Structure 1
């Protein structure tokens, strides 16, 4: 019996050990995960930095590197040469953000199935079929032409790998343990993938599917009226009337054969509101100091770990502070002792779809320019954890990948956005050497250096704002813009006609730009880059006028400005849309006939200050009211079989103010003829009823900060690793553009002078470890609209009370 019990307990013990080290469904192997020495317990970190002075042996360096950490654990890297400064940047960034870098490159390249198995196969296929890896490969081929840039990227790669090779399994970031996989060596290609991921985020949407269906249903006159080629309320980035001091190249004319192709049943990735940004600079004549002040806050989908990594890089000829993309060398947004710069998205039309006519079911040839041209095939090998490798063949024409063939699309949300049998022409597939732009900007000393640097940046096109300590300010909507005829890409196109192809490129030196405008400021908020006198076509639609108009109106009257003046504008929550239409809306209601919640809501709206502050109930009511009003007005565009989009917001603004009898206000499903007044009343009643049903009687739950529910989610949506709900103001079309989980991903203000002083914050922390104090320690400051003063050191031995740690990296 004793022997039997001994054997039984041995078998049970071995079974338990085996069970604890097996991956069960979504859960990691519990034995490994709960191991107190190597599991998730090993990822807990103290707020204390440990020894204030320490050394570390790092193979691969050519000399000594000093890394100084301030009280936010932001690294200030001092090296003796380019190789070592970028090697150390890679090493230190990986130390804080390794899993984030790994996950984002796997997502971009279509390799998540290697980690999570079959559930990610269709996502991986989608990324491969969109040509993400293909585009990154084109970029790396271009980089190889420039030895100095290639050396920078390889040094950065080697630094990351030096850190990876120093790790033991117990040191892996916690997400590797939860998902039960290990980091692999970094490749230069991975950096290219991250930049292509930015293109997918900022230049990967389109409207031509919707527009083709609108044209087919309503005809050209109505389409042109509702969707004009240039907005009526625009205040462009380059001030109206700015002369163009160049002779344009030959501009393509609209081909006589042009006709749009309607596409049924396709719901596309529409260009999103909220994926925008703000930047501006005032000249010294508007500031209290007599020097320029520059501000930037790029709006992106927020995540933990934070999107950006804050740092300082110093080497001979280089001393720069700002934020980088984890996984890519150099500083993307920042300043040095001479200049500062910031970026916003241009939103030009750099993605088009072409209908392909294949010769037969073999699809080895397609019709183009009155002849059959050979297709080419790219085989994507998708490894699947726990399953067989999938070999997926993608057909390419000269225009790009045919993302999905007819009857090939899976039941997958992203795939539903793609028109079957269409080739994709996309700027992200073009060769480029974008990182060299930031390499040069980091070292820029003046306006001429700025102009030279940005010519290297191709995509996603950005509005580069600039200011210098010598009192220059400038802005340039910059990127590689295709040379197009007007409206090209507004609708789906016939891929067989050469005249529908991109016709070359707008010369970089002829991109819109302005230096030291008489008004004393430059700004951008994703609106039109230029007025209609600019000779080239960039797109027919940019972001709505709201933020740009508010920013420009505030800057125009600003005098003796300080950093606090600029910070207040970054946190501005005033709604230009409400200013434009709320008086019309309220005038259309009959308060004497209202009762209960509707009467109380009317009183709130009549006294509302048009601010989207967290405690404002009026903002909650107005937001839903406007959205409901738009949906009721444009009900003709709600067609399940032929998906369409609503006209631009400003078209409804003009109708409410100037066209109250517009037939678009009439509900064709009722015998009566509705005007704007009736639709306004109906939408108001619906709004108040909806809010009351959801939130109860008017009270604290109606406050905008509670209705909006802003938060910062974890990158992989792992429960408990995101932020708490934030009681904060702002909104998509407000200067402070914080919506639910999209908003200012980095707020920066640089006061130029002697010396330059920087201020900044992002929603997160430097560490990517949820067990670290420095994972989310800056969220409260950010949510409160405050900024941290940035510590811009001049030497590694400089003393400052904010310095908490120094590490000497050497290669013994």
Structure 2
């Protein structure tokens, strides 16, 4: 028997070695490649970050970026492309059909096809160069293990493919169709008054990104109204099916998902020059979304975070300007209930399914957009159409991002953002001359007489009246207080002249409040290390607000009593070695489910809604089925549920419930993360600090307490010396589970460490250089 075990292990080891050798990209020596106009060097540093230097043209630099993206992330790129195309079932089988139907119905790839002709000639040249580089990289002979496991070879890359993933990012970061669906359920079961309980308005005293003085554009906002379009349960379920499909792809709006960025003026820093910080909070996947890169040509000088599949640097700096982004999340989607007799067009989508016959999907569209209530079922029930800025023609967002790569000053920065469409983002700005600024670009619809919070009739009486003009979008330049903080919080006070101030899409104010608190408690002399400490802060202001109500709970049983005693005196700092954050987050998760008896399983409210209910003795606390008459009973029952769940998972002694045992980052593979035989190879985990709405946001999953979303990338740019800047990703550069740089950034990321964001070779550590020759 022993010899058989040894033989199996030997064969397994041989297979792993073979896969590693055959899937490892070439990173040194010289290769001759078609399509270049001059030589390019690609020097990979100690962490696998490529430093690209093109001599002849910027197009050559972009070609090289496409080349290294394909070398290191070919599977990720192909998977993202298949998501945008709705072609997952072709390689994953029948289980992926719901996702493909959702993706084809919404028409993400069709929108990318329509966007390509709108781009400027220089951008088109860069896209073509990037596409050529990708195809050359894919033709080099290395194939990611995923392709071998699934038994197919990736198709050639196209220019449209280089735009398509941006449409999925727009879905992940923008819109409120899900809130409209939830809001319809709320009104149906709780009445209109229930909207403010389940989807609470932004608190009046909470921080906005711009103050009234910084706003510069005031006036009476248009009156808003609400139309309640009744939808039967079958239609709501059909709409929910799309949201479920999106959620299975990792595209979901979850409490605490968002981003932080801020810019500090020189009068607040030790150096006298600005410091700019950014950490976008997205799904933490394997491989990670971002790919760090330093890309230089004769004019191009950009370093930061790129996304494999997209040309250029998305977040970062050049030699004069730095920028960061967080999500604005204005209401850019509306659901229209089309009246009988409304003119519809149709198209047929053929979905290929691995091992099964093709599936024909009929997609209908109205003048507003695709009918998303069909789910391929034909003319059944009310027809609900989606109108969304990201599906409209003329999307020049890629022009904007490439323009940022070249921006030399505020005027260039502003000119680039004028071409920005979707998803609307908070851009913070700093330059080496000491200037700072902020702009929130993107197409934001103007609605007159209605607020867009619920589905409306498509009879023509509730149409968009254009978009907020670019010059009147929220922005500031060299603000007097030398500080701009954004954390997905409300961008403008109620005095803003457009209806942007009145919607319910903003994140809770906790992160923005804590960041501002930390940055202003030291009146001057802020350093790079100070900013690091703010990015990594794990003190919970949610605990601060909920603490009086939680500690007043009458415990039910000994476990509840012990848990409460452990929470008394806790400072709210959520660290892996403590037991208090385990108890608090498990309890908060139970409280966030308080609306499920009214609205159905899966419904979760945010921390602010929980706080409002406890303060007011709200209706959501009551549960007649469970004989739970008030919030005191809700607190008692939810604490018992939380500690019982923890005891089942971690044992009966609360002293052993340390946070790091359950709160681990789950960077799981999109295709194989749930396949037991492969998960060990493709998934990556590590204990992490932080929790719900901490600055270092790390909301535990309600079922597993693992962290699935969070700071997917961190950067801090010091404008006094750009090469002292730092950055880090959540996992590693390599997309192959057998690569040399799969998880080497994860350890630093979890520990709060960074890599040098430097364009100087002396900071790169051990390097390997590949020369690309025409």
TM-score (norm 1): 0.84
* Corresponding residue of 1:708: 663
Deviation at 1:159, TM superposition (A): 1.0
Any idea what SS the aligned residue of 1:383 has?
Answer: strand
Any idea what SS the aligned residue of 1:441 has?
Answer: helix
Q: Is the 8 A contact 1:709 1:726 kept in 2?
A: yes
Establish whether residue 242 from structure 1 lines up as the match of residue 214 from structure 2: yes
Deviation at 1:540, TM superposition (A): 2.5
* Corresponding residue of 2:566: 604
Establish whether residue 503 from structure 1 lines up as the match of residue 465 from structure 2: yes
Establish whether residue 688 from structure 1 lines up as the match of residue 643 from structure 2: yes
Aligned mates of 1:118, 1:309 — CA distance in 2: 31
In 2 relative to 1, CA 397–438 (structure 1 residues): closer, same or farther, beyond 3 Å?
same
* Corresponding residue of 2:454: 491
* Corresponding residue of 2:702: none
Aligned mates of 2:16, 2:558 — CA distance in 1: 62
TM-score (norm 2): 0.88
Aligned mates of 1:44, 1:214 — CA distance in 2: 51
Taking the TM superposition and a 5 Å limit, the aligned residue runs for 1:289-308 are 289-308=271-290
Aligned mates of 1:733, 1:636 — CA distance in 2: 25
Encode CA deviations 1:474-520: one digit per residue, 9 max, x unaligned. Answer: 22222111112365321111112x22122211111111112222332
Which of 550, 569, 584 does residue 534 from structure 2 map onto? 569
Q: Is the 8 A contact 2:27 2:769 kept in 1?
A: no
Any idea what SS the aligned residue of 2:690 has?
Answer: coil
Taking the TM superposition and a 5 Å limit, the aligned residue runs for 1:752-763 are 752-763=719-730
* Corresponding residue of 1:774: 741
Any idea what SS the aligned residue of 2:285 has?
Answer: coil
Encode CA deviations 1:730-788: one digit per residue, 9 max, x unaligned. Answer: 12311111242211110111111144532011122212121112122111111111111
* Corresponding residue of 1:157: 131
Any idea what SS the aligned residue of 2:471 has?
Answer: helix
Q: Is the 8 A contact 1:35 1:41 kept in 2?
A: no
In 2 relative to 1, CA 56–50 (structure 1 residues): closer, same or farther, beyond 3 Å?
closer
Encode CA deviations 1:589-633: one digit per residue, 9 max, x unaligned. Answer: 47xxx763333222210021211111221111112223333444x
* Corresponding residue of 2:93: 117
Encode CA deviations 1:433-484: one digit per residue, 9 max, x unaligned. Answer: 1111121111112222211111211111111111112222222222111112
* Corresponding residue of 1:350: 332
* Corresponding residue of 1:336: 318
Aligned mates of 1:39, 1:428 — CA distance in 2: 44
Establish whether residue 729 from structure 1 lines up as the match of residue 684 from structure 2: no
Any idea what SS the aligned residue of 2:686 has?
Answer: coil
Aligned mates of 1:467, 1:62 — CA distance in 2: 34
Any idea what SS the aligned residue of 2:426 has?
Answer: strand
Establish whether residue 471 from structure 1 lines up as the match of residue 447 from structure 2: no
Encode CA deviations 1:348-404: one digit per residue, 9 max, x unaligned. Answer: 111221112343xxxxxx1xxxxxxx3222222323334443332211111111124
Any idea what SS the aligned residue of 2:669 has?
Answer: coil
Taking the TM superposition and a 5 Å limit, the aligned residue runs for 1:498-577 are 498-538=460-500, 539-558=503-522, 559-577=524-542
Q: Is the 8 A contact 2:613 2:619 kept in 1?
A: no
* Corresponding residue of 1:70: 45
Aligned mates of 1:654, 1:124 — CA distance in 2: 39
Q: Is the 8 A contact 1:287 1:293 kept in 2?
A: yes
Establish whether residue 197 from structure 1 lines up as the match of residue 161 from structure 2: no
Which of 67, 75, 83 does residue 107 from structure 1 map onto? 83
Worse overlay, 228-237 or 119-128: 228-237
Deviation at 1:799, TM superposition (A): 5.9
Deviation at 1:309, TM superposition (A): 0.9
* Corresponding residue of 1:369: none
* Corresponding residue of 2:181: 209
Establish whether residue 141 from structure 1 lines up as the match of residue 141 from structure 2: no
In 2 relative to 1, CA 579–109 (structure 1 residues): closer, same or farther, beyond 3 Å?
same
In 2 relative to 1, CA 113–801 (structure 1 residues): closer, same or farther, beyond 3 Å?
closer
Any idea what SS the aligned residue of 2:286 has?
Answer: coil
In 2 relative to 1, CA 724–405 (structure 1 residues): closer, same or farther, beyond 3 Å?
closer
Aligned mates of 1:420, 1:492 — CA distance in 2: 12
Q: Is the 8 A contact 2:723 2:758 kept in 1?
A: no
In 2 relative to 1, CA 401–317 (structure 1 residues): closer, same or farther, beyond 3 Å?
same
Any idea what SS the aligned residue of 1:720 has?
Answer: helix
In 2 relative to 1, CA 388–670 (structure 1 residues): closer, same or farther, beyond 3 Å?
closer
Larger Rg: 1
Aligned mates of 1:631, 1:767 — CA distance in 2: 38
Any idea what SS the aligned residue of 1:111 has?
Answer: coil
Q: Is the 8 A contact 1:43 1:771 kept in 2?
A: no
Aligned mates of 1:601, 1:165 — CA distance in 2: 59
Aligned mates of 1:770, 1:684 — CA distance in 2: 40
Which of 656, 660, 665 does residue 614 from structure 2 map onto? 656
Taking the TM superposition and a 5 Å limit, the aligned residue runs for 1:211-360 are 211-224=183-196, 227=199, 229-245=201-217, 254=224, 258-264=227-233, 266=236, 268=240, 269=243, 271-359=253-341
Any idea what SS the aligned residue of 1:321 has?
Answer: strand
* Corresponding residue of 1:9: none
Any idea what SS the aligned residue of 1:749 has?
Answer: strand
Which of 366, 371, 374 does residue 402 from structure 1 map onto? 371
Q: Is the 8 A contact 1:376 1:396 kept in 2?
A: yes
Deviation at 1:669, TM superposition (A): 4.8
Deviation at 1:222, TM superposition (A): 4.9
Aligned mates of 1:50, 1:102 — CA distance in 2: 21
In 2 relative to 1, CA 557–486 (structure 1 residues): closer, same or farther, beyond 3 Å?
farther
- Unmatched tracts of structure 1, length 5 or more: 1-31, 360-365, 367-373, 411-417
Which of 392, 401, 419 does residue 456 from structure 1 map onto? 419
- Unmatched tracts of structure 2, length 5 or more: 1-10, 244-251, 700-706
Aligned mates of 1:232, 1:651 — CA distance in 2: 15
Size of the alignment, in residue pairs?
A: 733
